[in-house]
């Protein structure tokens, strides 16, 4: 069973609205290599796990638990990027009082304004809805672990590209945190394969990047987040049997299971009367 404390796993850094950034950040939420995919893939792999070597199940489930918080973090970041974007003026059209959404839907995702009240959706950067066929849970531990390595590696690779699409601080802080955590999860699954005999040589991290290039990443590296696995279990777990010892990556260091971050406040989303959201005003009078 699953329990909850109303805390975000990382902070939301304030900046201006940015509908185009919100649109591309959807890839990290509802895309083929986004957080909904990791969450559901590890949910199925841990529920479908066969056999007695449950330290591997505990590892997969441990990452699954963190991904639920990642989904919430990206949803919240997208909401922050969309908040107030309908007030942005639009010289080329007819002025904010007449068509305040004309401008944001130009470069943003129109569904953010039609299906959401300037809020996140379960779709990717192209607007395609999340799809269950992406989940890989074949029940063969090695193929499942290799697929997880690819999933996390592609997550970092895509985020290193999405990072270049806006310099908005709200956007980049969340991407940077997720890059570091995807890195840790890449290490987790690579390490699990090491316990089965693989020696990865110099291939990790994938992609072959200098994490110090991203100033927002640096503090998380200094906090050791790239080599930590947060433990969200209220009972005991065997995750530490695998997630221990030297990192499989050239970004060396020792892997260790730690407590989760202390938790960060969930920003309040203001009412949006123009969007009829939440739309309770007169009813409550």
Among 22, 60, 63, 117, binds its own copies (CB under 8 A): 117
Q: Does 217 bind its own copies (CB under 8 A)?
A: no
For residue 229, the cross-strand partners are 257
Part in contact with its own copies (CB under 8 A); list of ranges 177-185, 196-204, 217-225, 239-247: 196-204
Q: Does 270 bind its own copies (CB under 8 A)?
A: yes
Q: Which of 43, 48, 63, 38 is nearest to 138 (CA)?
A: 48
User: What tokens were used for 100?
Assistant: 């305040």
Among 55, 150, 216, 251, binds its own copies (CB under 8 A): 150
**Is 107 annotated to bind ligand?**
no
Binders of its own copies among residues 24 to 43 (CB under 8 A) are 24, 27, 30-32, 36, 40, 43
Q: Give SS3 for 35.
A: helix
Q: Does 123 bind its own copies (CB under 8 A)?
A: yes
CA distance 105 to 86: 9
Binders of its own copies among residues 239 to 258 (CB under 8 A) are none
**Is 67 annotated to bind ligand?**
yes
Residue 182's contacts (CB-CB under 8 Å, 6 or more residues apart) are 152, 153, 155, 156, 159
Site map for its own copies, 60-99, x if CB under 8 A? -x---x--xx-xx--xx--x------x------xx---xx
The C-alpha R_g of the chain, in whole angstroms, comes to 20
The answer to whether the Cα torsion of 15, 17, 18, 19 is positive or negative is positive
Size of the site for its own copies (CB under 8 A): 131
Among 16, 196, 223, 254, binds its own copies (CB under 8 A): 196
**Is 70 annotated to bind ligand?**
yes
Among 11, 13, 88, 135, binds its own copies (CB under 8 A): 135
Q: Does 218 bind its own copies (CB under 8 A)?
A: no
Residue 165's contacts (CB-CB under 8 Å, 6 or more residues apart) are 20, 21, 24
**Is 231 annotated to bind ligand?**
yes
For the stretch 271-274, contacts whose Cβ atoms lie closer than 8 Å and that sit 24 or more positions apart, written own/partner, are 272/86, 272/117, 272/118, 274/86, 274/100
Q: Which residues are annotated as a binding site for Ca(2+)?
A: 58, 231
Residues of the binding site: 35, 58, 67, 70, 152, 185, 231
């Amino acid at each position: 069973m699953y329990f909850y404390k109303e805390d975000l796993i990382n902070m939301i850094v304030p900046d201006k609205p940015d509908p185009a950034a919100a649109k591309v950040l959807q890839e990290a939420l509802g895309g083929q290599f986004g957080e909904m995919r990791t969450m559901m893939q590890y949910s199925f792999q841990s529920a479908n796990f066969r056999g007695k070597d449950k330290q591997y199940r505990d590892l997969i489930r441990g990452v699954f638990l963190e991904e639920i918080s990642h989904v919430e973090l990206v949803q919240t970041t997208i909401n922050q990027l969309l908040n107030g974007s309908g007030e942005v003026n639009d010289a080329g059209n007819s002025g904010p009082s007449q068509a305040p959404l004309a401008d944001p839907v130009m470069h943003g995702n129109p569904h953010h304004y039609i299906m959401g009240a300037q809020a996140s959706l379960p779709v990717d950067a192209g607007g395609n809805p999340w799809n269950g066929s992406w989940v890989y849970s074949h029940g063969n531990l090695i193929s499942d672990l290799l697929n997880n390595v690819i999933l996390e590696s592609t997550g970092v690779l895509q985020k290193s590209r999405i990072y270049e699409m806006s310099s908005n601080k709200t956007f980049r802080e969340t991407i940077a945190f997720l890059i570091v955590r995807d890195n840790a999860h890449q290490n987790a699954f690579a390490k699990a394969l090491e316990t089965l005999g693989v020696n990865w040589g110099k291939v990790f991290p994938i992609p072959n990047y200098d994490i110090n290039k991203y100033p927002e990443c640096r503090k998380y590296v200094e906090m050791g987040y790239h080599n930590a696995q947060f433990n969200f279990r209220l009972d005991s777990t065997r995750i530490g049997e695998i997630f221990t010892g030297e990192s499989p990556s050239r970004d060396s260091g020792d892997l260790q299971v730690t407590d989760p971050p202390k938790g960060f406040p969930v920003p309040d989303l203001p009412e949006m009367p123009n969007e009829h959201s939440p739309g309770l005003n007169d009813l409550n009078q």
